[in-house]
């Protein structure tokens, strides 16, 4: 699915099933909440924390999709074309960081 298509599908879902968009502030809080849920899984799977019983069946992909859904909602309601924004962002990073990471000794395999 293309990003533009995802933005349209989320918009269609909101307008038919979700009734309307929550306001931008509410969606920002929801985005933060969803990122926190994803962080909880990552902290337990890859960090030192152990899983609680209630976290055992959490699906990391589903949590990432929740983050993406709310991010798309925010983009839609603020008029951001995520395809264009991502292309511009990658161009900016390429110009700015074209050798930065390659020249970073902290990222070398030799450490």
What phi and psi values does residue 107 have, to the nearest 5 degrees?
Answer: -100, 0
Quote the pLDDT of residue 106. Answer: 87
Residue 110 scores a pLDDT above 70:
no
Instruction: Quote the radius of gyration of the chain (alpha carbons, Å).
Output: 18
Q: Is the dihedral of CA 32, 11, 14, 76 positive or negative?
A: positive
Quote the pLDDT of residue 111. Answer: 52
In terms of residues, how long is the chain?
Answer: 111
Superfamily of domain 3-103: MazG-like (1.10.287.1080)
- Written as six digits, the tokens of 99 are 């050798």
pLDDT tens column, 36-63: 999 999 999 999 988 888 878 899 999 9
* Banded model confidence at residue 13, pLDDT cuts 50, 70, 90: very high
Quote the pLDDT of residue 89. Answer: 97
**More confident of the two residues 110 and 82:** 82
Quote the pLDDT of residue 69. Answer: 98
Domain ranges of the chain: 3-103
Which ranges of the chain does DSSP label H, i.e. alpha helix? 3-16, 24-46, 60-78, 82-97
pLDDT tens column, 66-81: 999 999 999 999 999 9
* Distance of alpha carbon 96 from alpha carbon 90, whole angstroms: 10
């Amino acid at each position: 699915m293309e990003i533009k298509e995802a933005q349209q599908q989320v918009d269609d879902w909101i307008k038919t099933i979700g009734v309307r968009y929550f306001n931008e502030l509410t969606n920002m809080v929801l985005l933060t909440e969803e990122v926190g849920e994803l962080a909880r899984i990552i902290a337990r799977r890859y960090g030192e924390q152990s899983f609680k019983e209630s976290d055992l069946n959490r699906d990391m992909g589903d949590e990432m999709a929740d983050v993406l859904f709310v991010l798309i909602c925010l983009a839609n309601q603020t008029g951001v074309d995520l395809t264009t924004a991502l292309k511009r962002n990658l161009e900016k990073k390429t110009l700015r960081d074209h050798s930065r990471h390659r020249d970073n000794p902290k990222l070398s395999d030799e450490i």
